[in-house]
Structure 1
């Protein structure tokens, strides 16, 4: 199951074996805390929790710990971090353990991947496989309900919906970074009960997503030189082209969605922006409208194909350096319409 429903559940049942799967450390940390609270309640974790690195623990050590009831807690919890190699090397033993686990132990496997086709994955119920993955850039709007609720519960502030949308646009999908920015905002607004979109616009620092936002604004303003200058600045600071393409893909997918609705389905611009997940803040919407006018129908309707092409190219389908491929895409988008390639 996804981590967010797991964290939101009022009383999840204790499982003997958990797999925390994915790359979102923020979700993994909170899922671990929830597992520990579910297993031992209010007891001190110091007496019940052991943490090991996957390349430094034998299965027999973990098994012995899991069979040992601690003195001051109802069960023993063994967490194996970076456990992918541990799982691979001990798969038969883990499969046997999952079939007949200790009644006084909870094993937590922190892994990057956990294929559903393996016997071990099939042996665990859905409630024991907690997916902790960062959503792709074009799905970050799905984090908005969580972000609003997290601001309320963790930071005691009401986050306005448009402020949540802008924060996602500027920071991206990293939940740890979003939490950090919420913490800064909560302190900065002081006694104010809520965080407004103006607070986010004024206080949130520069991120890759924010820089991509600047690139797209420069394109919409008809300033190709500025767009390329921002991109070159990112590369000179050591940013990876793939990391730049993450938030850029998210922005271009929104424009492609708007183009399809606007030109092919004859939907008005406002509802098309709504459907594409564009934040309902005038500053952003004016910028998106400028981008649509500058790019023009032909380029907008070609965005999806261009994204597929560069995605394949960055995965090895193009001999050009990754940096050059991204630069070429920005040039194609930024050059004046009459000079855009057919």
Structure 2
């Protein structure tokens, strides 16, 4: 079961064994809280909930704890953190336990992976296997809108959500923190607007990369290279720079192909490429499209393949030099591009 579905379910039932699978700590934290709530209700968790690292826990100790009814609570919850090693070393014992679990215990296994073809995975119902992975990037904005409503009691405008993701990135934990700050900052206002986000949310390192694209769109190659050098001087890794840069360039390449090859209007092409509808995002995208021009837009996919291959060891040049070369190709005036 997807973690977001689990968190929103109204009638989730208690299971004796849960597996929290994936690498999104924000979802795992909230899934844990939901499991504890399902297991012990409003009782004090200090009497009934314990956690142990999977690298130092033996199964007999875990079993004894799960068999012990806690004081003033209907059951005991044992959370095994980083449980991949624990599961591997105790797979047969866990399979036997899942077949005949304690009536007063809830075991929560926090793992990175949990292959569905194992006997243990097959022994657990779907509702006990909680997949804690972040939604794809194109769905993060919609999640922000829903989370702002359910967790922070505020309506988040669609344009504000798009800008928030652009500023903060796709980390759900960081987005939740910023939404909490925004909800407090706007006070009694029922809606968080794009202007609120623009005023109150600082730029992340990833968002700084978009300043490079803005400078390119404004026809300021020296400024684009200066921003890049600032990021490198602050210790930013070239791979961390190329990630958000690549994401934006792919959108531009898609818009360019739709406009040049399929003759779609610019607005329709932007919609199809999932360019945020916030006015500033659209204006900046249009500037970048006009600066690059059709020939360069059609070359972008090849350039992106080349830079990604080069940064993974396929080019003997230093990584910084490779990124700088890409920025120069993007930033130079259109009349310098060979047709």
TM-score exceeds 0.5:
yes
Cα distance in structure 1, aligned partners of 2:312 and 2:97: 39
- Superposed CA RMSD in Å reads 2.1
Moved more, 55-64 or 90-99: 90-99
Instruction: Spell out, residue by residue over 1:56-109, the C-alpha distance to the aligned partner (whole angstroms, 9 max, x if none).
Output: 211221121122222322221111112222223323322332333323222111
What is the aligned partner in structure 2 of residue 254 from structure 1?
251
Q: Summarize the alignment of residues 68-87 of structure 1 with structure 2, pairs less than 5 Å apart.
A: 68-87=68-87
- In the TM superposition, residue 319 of structure 1 has moved relative to its aligned partner by 4.3
CA contact (8 A) 1:170 1:213 kept: no
Cα distance in structure 2, aligned partners of 1:317 and 1:3: 38
How many residues are aligned here? 339
- In the TM superposition, residue 29 of structure 1 has moved relative to its aligned partner by 0.8
CA contact (8 A) 1:208 1:247 kept: no
Does 2:166 align with 1:155? Answer: no
- In the TM superposition, residue 111 of structure 1 has moved relative to its aligned partner by 1.9
Does 2:274 align with 1:297? Answer: no
Moved more, 105-114 or 44-53: 105-114
Structure label with greater radius of gyration: 2
What is the aligned partner in structure 1 of residue 45 from structure 2?
45
**Helix, strand or coil: the match of 1:42?**
coil
What is the aligned partner in structure 2 of residue 96 from structure 1?
96
- In the TM superposition, residue 306 of structure 1 has moved relative to its aligned partner by 3.0
Instruction: Spell out, residue by residue over 1:16-50, the C-alpha distance to the aligned partner (whole angstroms, 9 max, x if none).
Output: 22222222211111111111111122221111111
What is the aligned partner in structure 1 of residue 36 from structure 2?
36
**Helix, strand or coil: the match of 2:286?**
helix
CA contact (8 A) 2:80 2:110 kept: yes
CA contact (8 A) 2:22 2:111 kept: yes
Cα distance in structure 2, aligned partners of 1:206 and 1:32: 31
Q: TM-score, normalised by structure 1?
A: 0.91
- In the TM superposition, residue 305 of structure 1 has moved relative to its aligned partner by 3.2
Distance change >3 Å, CA 105–CA 288, structure 1 → 2: same
Cα distance in structure 1, aligned partners of 2:281 and 2:15: 45
CA contact (8 A) 1:296 1:337 kept: yes
What is the aligned partner in structure 1 of residue 59 from structure 2?
59
Cα distance in structure 2, aligned partners of 1:123 and 1:313: 45
- In the TM superposition, residue 160 of structure 1 has moved relative to its aligned partner by 1.0
Does 2:195 align with 1:194? Answer: no
Distance change >3 Å, CA 236–CA 196, structure 1 → 2: same
Q: TM-score, normalised by structure 2?
A: 0.92
What is the aligned partner in structure 1 of residue 260 from structure 2?
263
Provide runs of 4+ in structure 1 moved above 6 Å. none
**Helix, strand or coil: the match of 1:55?**
coil
- In the TM superposition, residue 164 of structure 1 has moved relative to its aligned partner by 0.9
Does 2:203 align with 1:210? Answer: no
Cα distance in structure 2, aligned partners of 1:335 and 1:92: 63
What is the aligned partner in structure 2 of residue 223 from structure 1?
220
**Helix, strand or coil: the match of 2:113?**
coil
Cα distance in structure 1, aligned partners of 2:317 and 2:138: 33
What is the aligned partner in structure 2 of residue 15 from structure 1?
15
Cα distance in structure 2, aligned partners of 1:116 and 1:207: 37
What is the aligned partner in structure 2 of residue 241 from structure 1?
238
Distance change >3 Å, CA 207–CA 95, structure 1 → 2: same
**Helix, strand or coil: the match of 1:70?**
coil
CA contact (8 A) 1:141 1:165 kept: no
Instruction: Spell out, residue by residue over 1:125-161, the C-alpha distance to the aligned partner (whole angstroms, 9 max, x if none).
Output: 33222222234xxx42302222112212222221111
What is the aligned partner in structure 2 of residue 115 from structure 1?
115
Extract unaligned runs of 5+ from structure 1: none
**Helix, strand or coil: the match of 1:56?**
coil
Cα distance in structure 2, aligned partners of 1:339 and 1:17: 64
Cα distance in structure 1, aligned partners of 2:299 and 2:91: 47
Cα distance in structure 2, aligned partners of 1:59 and 1:242: 41
**Helix, strand or coil: the match of 1:50?**
strand
CA contact (8 A) 1:140 1:172 kept: no
- In the TM superposition, residue 179 of structure 1 has moved relative to its aligned partner by 1.1
